[in-house]
């Protein structure tokens, strides 16, 4: 009887270790898929040819969907899918091409934040969208501004949030704060080799240094 109990304990322990290993491998696979999806999103942003951009975003979308399918409770998986869906929507500019696609994109972002309310990239994207979108599409500039301020406080390396907040400050007439935020964003992007952000930060700084230049004429538009 004692031997039987010991055998059961050993078997139970072995099964537990096996299941933990399987779970770890599954989590690693989801993380890899989400990471690859985000890489495709970044490559698409960096590309200049439309067909190349589209190919990267489509590949990223498929990888993101696979990550979500493997683990629906992965905030990173949902965010990676959101990133590519958002870029596909605005492949030809800032205009939205599909209301259904927009809703799906927002659902992925909201799900990421539901699973991880402190997800820095998702918070940055949410804040940026809230300050950009009209009220009819769920925009709320004050709430978005608060989120962006929170991200800047929480994340010393957050580039996009600083650029989005710099635009808000510029529109509020707080130009020195805007310059500081954009300068910090450029320095961070250069330090960590975030090449796709470097050009955006430079464009923002160029705009801010033009005295009295209206924000509507700027080539810079904060990303998702």
pTM of the model: 0.79
pLDDT by residue for the chain (224 residues), tens only, comes to 554 444 444 444 444 433 343 334 556 799 999 999 999 999 999 999 999 999 999 999 999 999 999 999 999 999 999 999 999 998 877 666 678 899 999 999 999 999 999 999 999 999 999 999 998 889 999 999 999 999 999 999 999 999 999 999 999 999 999 999 999 999 999 999 888 889 999 999 998 998 554 443 333 344 55
Q: What are phi and psi of 91, to 5 degrees?
A: -60, -30
Q: Domain-by-domain residue ranges, the chain?
A: 12-91+101-117
For residues 180 and 177, what is the distance between their CA atoms, to the nearest angstrom?
Answer: 5
The CATH number fitting domain 12-91+101-117, selected from 2.40.33, 1.20.120, 1.10.260, 1.25.40: 1.25.40
Nearest to 214 by CA among 173, 165, 161, 164: 173
Dihedral of CA atoms 221, 179, 185, 128 in degrees, nearest 10, equals -40
């Amino acid at each position: 009887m004692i031997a039987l109990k010991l055998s059961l304990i050993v078997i139970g322990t072995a099964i537990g270790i096996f299941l933990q290993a399987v779970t770890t491998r599954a989590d690693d696979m989801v993380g890899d898929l989400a990471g690859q999806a985000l890489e495709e999103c970044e490559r698409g942003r960096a590309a200049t040819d439309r067909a190349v951009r589209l190919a990267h975003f489509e590949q990223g979308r498929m990888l993101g969907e696979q990550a979500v399918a493997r683990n629906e409770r992965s905030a990173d998986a949902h965010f990676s899918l959101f990133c590519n869906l958002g870029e596909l929507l605005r492949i030809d500019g800032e205009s939205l091409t599909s209301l259904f696609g927009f809703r799906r994109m927002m659902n992925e972002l909201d799900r990421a934040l539901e699973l991880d309310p402190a997800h820095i990239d998702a918070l940055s994207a949410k804040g940026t969208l809230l300050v950009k979108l009209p009220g009819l599409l769920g925009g709320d500039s004050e709430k978005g501004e608060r989120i962006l301020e929170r991200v800047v406080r929480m994340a010393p390396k957050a580039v996009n949030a600083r650029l989005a907040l710099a635009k808000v400050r510029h529109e509020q007439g707080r130009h020195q704060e805007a310059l500081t935020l954009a300068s910090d964003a450029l320095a961070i992007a250069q330090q960590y080799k975030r090449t796709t952000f470097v050009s955006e930060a430079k464009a923002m700084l160029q705009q801010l240094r033009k005295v009295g230049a209206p924000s509507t004429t700027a080539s810079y538009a904060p990303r998702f």
